[in-house]
Structure 1
Amino acid sequence: MPYTTLISATELAAHLEDPHWVVIDCRHDLADPDAGSRAYAAGHIAGARFAHLDTALSDKRPAADGSFRGRHPLPGREDFIDTLRRWGVRHDAQVVAYDAQGGMFAARLWWMLRWVGHAQAAVLDGGLPAWQALGLPLSLDPVAPAPGDIALQAPLVATVDAGQVLANIGQPSRVVLDARAPDRFRGENETLDPVGGHIPGAKNRFFKDNLQADGRFKEAGQLRREFSALVDDPAKAIAQCGSGVTACHNLLAMEVAGLRGAALYPGSWSEWCADSRRPVARGA
């Protein structure tokens, strides 16, 4: 049975020698972009490849018209397929992503795999801390996989652009969920983007509220109740955050809850606030 949302450390350990499984380390630190690669070099789950948020999971070049696409814009779908092939991902692979931040970055890879049509993708629930809590080992061995044969398929997820989000403000038919911390949502303590605030009409769902105290996701029923209090129809929801990364955490939590169909606004607040013509709201 394929894993399509979360997988436990025990379940991953039982499949670690399976050649059809690919494990990818997504550790990162927004304030120290090299922290993830250093952590990977110091010890990783055996066989894991390393995915750098800024290079493997983003393409920071501007749009064709020169406009800013946000701090972590998506790469082209074909370019991402090339990256997956270099990691040895085959068309029938079970991919497991992990980090050490409760899925903050691993969920981005999970969503991107679905974006290129690969459903057999899961996030290690609790991340590396859950792995180490079981006394499971780390490896220092280098990884040199044979090229994979994954091919681009129809996307399993939806995206929206800034124009669609802007049009929704005037005639709101979709709920925008902002995954940032409440203070940043209110426009306070903004250190990552030049403008503080949020998209008018958006609701705040801090991505860390998806987790239990031990860093694992809350159970499906609780997530369903919490998201249903914010969203009537998940297929009409739009997930966003600062740069399109932690919004994927909310999308994963909604998938765990059985609330499917929400779209991602990849540029998110970092793209939105770069154009002074777009409206900004502040406060709760």
Structure 2
Amino acid sequence: MSHPVHRSLVSVDQLQALMASPTPPLVVDVRFDLADTGAGERAFAAAHLPGAFYLHLDRDLSGPKQVGEHFRGRHPLPEREAFAATLRSLGLRHGQQLIAYDAADGMYAARLWWMLRWLGHDAVAVLDGGFAAWQQAGAGTSAAPSPRPPEGDFALGEALEQPLSAQELFGQLGRVRLIDARAAERFRGEVEPLDKQAGHIPGASNRFFKGNLTPEGRFKPADQLRAEFLAVLGSFDSADTVHQCGSGVTACHNLLAMHHAGLTGSRLYPGSWSEWSAQPRLPLAKG
């Protein structure tokens, strides 16, 4: 029996059924810790979903960091073809279902979800509840390295998600609904642990990405997410919405939540606050 394509979230039960099917998904572990960039790899080596492969936020889900006037934020996007080659090396085939998971409420898995869609691949979803949900369900893990399959035939398609540059966003301020996924105290500019200056992009609204989750760490029901985001959008359409955060990672969580809620067409500003706040000519706001 063929399984439906999953395009936003999957449950543990759904993933187990997919893994047992004749056409199993590619499962990718993107556990990471911004404060200890090797922690995810160590956790993967100790225990991971059977058959999963590991991708690293800094090395694989980001391009080289630039400095000076070419700085594009702490986690700039890699070149599309370079990332497509990374996925082929994991065996990704055209149309194959890919499932991403992490141990951080979906924040890194959502980045991978967005990036697959950016490459034109829509058969991608995030494991709801991540590694913790898998363990809580009593599903098995492995510490053995997954055997590398033959190189996949995945090829770039028409992008299903569109990034926005700082210059493009500056030209559209006031004409788009800009949603900032950072914690409220960072948005208000009371603290700034990571970037050059504190504050936010003028006109932005704050929707902390963890607002998409239940207390148990699962995504809220689609209808509830839809109502909450419509309240943030106000008179704006989802297609006139731009998402940002600190460095283009947690913003993808809001994009995933909106997509799950049927609100599509929003765009990502990948450079986010880390790029914006480093540009002396760009305006800043606080409060």
- Shorter chain as denominator, the TM-score bin is over 0.9
% identical aligned pairs = 54
Task: Point out the more displaced range, 159-168 or 259-268.
Answer: 159-168
In the other structure, the counterpart of 1:230 is 232
Structure 2 contact 65–75 (Cα < 8 Å) conserved = no
TM-score (norm 2): 0.95
Tell me the matched-pair count. 280
Q: Distance in 1 between matches of 2:84 and 2:72?
A: 21
Structure 1 gaps of 5+ residues are: none
Q: Aligned-pair RMSD on alpha carbons?
A: 1.2
What pairs up with 1:85-124 in 2 under 5 angstroms?
85-124=88-127
> Counterpart of 1:102 in structure 2: which amino acid?
D
Shift of 1:62: 2.2
Structure 2 gaps of 5+ residues are: none
In the other structure, the counterpart of 1:198 is 200
Q: For residues 130-185 of structure 1, give each alpha carbon's deviation from its aligned partner in whole angstroms, at most 9, with x where no partner exists.
A: 1111111110111222211100000001211101111123xx11010000000000
| Secondary structure in 1 matching 2:107 | coil
Shift of 1:61: 3.3
Shift of 1:227: 0.4
In the other structure, the counterpart of 1:136 is 139
In the other structure, the counterpart of 1:39 is 43
Shift of 1:6: 0.2
Structure 1 contact 99–105 (Cα < 8 Å) conserved = yes
Task: Point out the more displaced range, 153-162 or 16-25.
Answer: 16-25
Is 1:208 the counterpart of 2:244 in the alignment?
no
Shift of 1:27: 0.3
TM-score (norm 1): 0.96
What pairs up with 1:1-284 in 2 under 5 angstroms?
1-18=4-21, 19-62=23-66, 67-143=70-146, 144-169=148-173, 172-231=174-233, 232-283=236-287
Structure 1 contact 60–71 (Cα < 8 Å) conserved = no
| Secondary structure in 2 matching 1:229 | helix
Structure 2 contact 200–284 (Cα < 8 Å) conserved = yes
| Secondary structure in 2 matching 1:176 | strand
Shift of 1:60: 2.4
Q: For residues 227-265 of structure 1, give each alpha carbon's deviation from its aligned partner in whole angstroms, at most 9, with x where no partner exists.
A: 001113000000000000000000000001110000000
> Counterpart of 2:105 in structure 1: which amino acid?
G
| Secondary structure in 1 matching 2:187 | helix
Structure 2 contact 53–90 (Cα < 8 Å) conserved = yes
> Counterpart of 2:43 in structure 1: which amino acid?
A
Shift of 1:20: 3.9
Q: Distance in 1 between matches of 2:149 and 2:39?
A: 23
Shift of 1:209: 0.2
